[in-house]
Amino acid sequence: MDEQSKEKTALIVENNLYEWNRLSFGLIKAPETFQRLMNFVLKEEIGKTCLVYLYDIIIFSKTPLEHISNLRKIFYLLEEANLKVKLSKF
């Protein structure tokens, strides 16, 4: 989340100010914003090697070797966008 947006997520609890550092899906526009981000980051692969719905990415391939190649492409694009994948979610 960029610095300008953090102040818009602020809340006060017991006289302490808290701001989100990452996009909280509790925010009204969060799912829409995240979907737009994922569509932008993976635009060159959507429909060719993957489908995206929010934080779920379905990667499809015809062979195991092609699948490894497609995984590398997707991971590379995510890394270039400074997005992280939590492998325990797989």
Give me the average pLDDT of each 10-residue run along the chain (90 residues): 71 76 66 88 96 90 97 96 81
Contact 21, 6 (CB under 8 A): yes
* Residue 37: closest CA among 90, 81, 89, 87: 81
Indicate the pTM of the whole model. 0.68
User: Domain range for residue 28?
Assistant: 3-89
Amino acid 23: pLDDT: 63
Report the number of distinct structural domains present in the chain.
1
4 in helix, strand or coil?
helix
- In contact, 34 and 42? CB cutoff 8 Å: no
67 close to 59: Cβ distance less than 8 angstroms:
yes
Question: What is Dmax (Cα atoms) for the chain?
Answer: 57
Q: Identify whether the C-beta of residue 46 lies closer than 8 Å to the C-beta of residue 35.
A: no
